[in-house]
Structure 1
Amino acid sequence: MFNDIGALEIVTLVVLAVLIFGPDKLPKVIQDISRTIRKIREFSDSAKADIREELGPEFKDFEFEDLNPKKFIRKQLDNDELGLKEIRNGFDLKKEMNEVADAVHGRDSDFSDTSSGAAATSSAGARVDMQKKSAEPRTLDSADRPPFDADAT
């Protein structure tokens, strides 16, 4: 529970407890704290059992630790019913970003993959040939520019 507490912190807590409560009241305070922690654990275990009972047999493998988003996603990625590993392994983001950057900056790049190198899809969904360069650079007029929104920046 307290994995990151070192020996110096424990000694400091003990010294503070002795100074605050005194050596004669310290055992009773420790008993009261341990009794309170035990009651809280019993209450949470009872609540978990009640929730599992109410959910029914469909959720027999339900764990409350799965409600942590990191653990839930990790569990779903390990359970590869959707084929997510194939999608993740088949997509090379660095290569795709380099190709887009080369196209934007107007540089020629050698495309080794013909399926993604010959053409790319723009955000509007239209096919754009990345090998073609326009003869004249296009400049935006003041009418073509979107309005400046200071709140959006």
Structure 2
Amino acid sequence: MFGVGLPELTVLALVAVFVFGPDKLPELARQAGALARKVKTLANSARDDLRSELGPEYADLELRDLDPRAIVRKHIIEAMEDAGDEATKPRRRSARPLLQHEAPPFDTDAT
């Protein structure tokens, strides 16, 4: 979650001990826990409100589809599938070897 591992959490804990001191740290931990509970309650309340507003359509709502990474991934996969269909089609040969005294093609607009 958020790319924070055990080493980062250890450094944050040590910084908190040095900044706030060991006597204030338990009270700050209680306040952080209370804040986390309030945020969780708020998120659950918002989800329940959304569910009650949408009714049966809520089951069809896929919030993960609103993630920009998922949208980009879906479009890339579709483009690759379309390209795969075109890749299997036989292509016409664009160049052929010139005959011995044949002049190469010349395009006046290109030069």
Give the alignment's TM-score, normalised by structure 2. 0.66
Deviation at 1:76, TM superposition (A): 8.7
Gaps of 5+ in 2: 97-103
In the TM superposition, what whole-angstrom CA distance separates every residue of 1:69-126 from its partner, at most 9, and x where no partner exists?
2324657999xxxx9886453122xx8xxxxxxxxxxxxxxxx92xx427xxxxxxxx
State whether structure 2 residue 76 is matched by structure 1 residue 89: no
Change (3 A) 1:86 1:19: closer
Identity of matched residues, % = 31
Q: Which amino acid aligns with 1:16?
A: V
Partner of 1:6: 6
Give the alignment of 1:64-143 within 5 angstroms. Answer: 64-72=63-71, 87-92=82-87, 113=90, 116-117=91-92, 135-139=105-109
More helix by share: 2
Give the alignment's TM-score, normalised by structure 1. 0.51
Deviation at 1:139, TM superposition (A): 3.6
Change (3 A) 1:68 1:139: same
Deviation at 1:55, TM superposition (A): 1.6
Partner of 1:62: 61
Secondary structure, counterpart of 1:117 in structure 2: coil
Change (3 A) 1:44 1:75: farther
Gaps of 5+ in 1: 96-111, 119-129, 141-153
Matches of 2:12 and 2:80 in 1, distance apart?
48
Deviation at 1:31, TM superposition (A): 0.6
